[in-house]
Structure 1
């Protein structure tokens, strides 16, 4: 197993939804890195998915799933006094 930390800072708690979204993107990228640890192969594959709309949609779905998990861990930021 890699020493790659899949949950940065070992916490899903963020101060704002924007920080949560950024964490979701980072976590999705970390999963890709764990799945394909070879930097050069990942660079080569970017050219493939950059031209494939279905693959780009799949990337968006991966980030959305990560964000849903983070949002739930943060109680959808409802406990913040400045939440809408």
Structure 2
């Protein structure tokens, strides 16, 4: 696979805000890895943008990624 699914090969970030941004990026990367054809992804975007259930599933994927990142960062506690 040519794309890095974990940017910079690390889940360690300085803040929860950076963790959330990383979670969103990781969710986008897995979609790109699962469907490498950009034209097909663009066509599918119209479908899921109109479907509340699919949008909620997207939120769940990001939340799961964020939970993983938060755990890796010991919930940003010293």
What is the TM-score when the length of structure 1 is the normalising length? 0.92
- State which structure, 1 or 2, has the greater radius of gyration over its C-alpha atoms: 1
1:34 aligns with: 33
More helix by share: 2
Alignment of 1:1-84 (within 5 A): 2-79=1-78
What is the TM-score when the length of structure 2 is the normalising length? 0.99
Point out 4+ residue stretches in structure 1 off by more than 2 angstroms: none
Provide structure 2 residue ranges, at least 5 long, that are not aligned to the other structure: none
What do you get for the CA RMSD once the two structures are aligned? 0.3
Provide structure 1 residue ranges, at least 5 long, that are not aligned to the other structure: 80-84
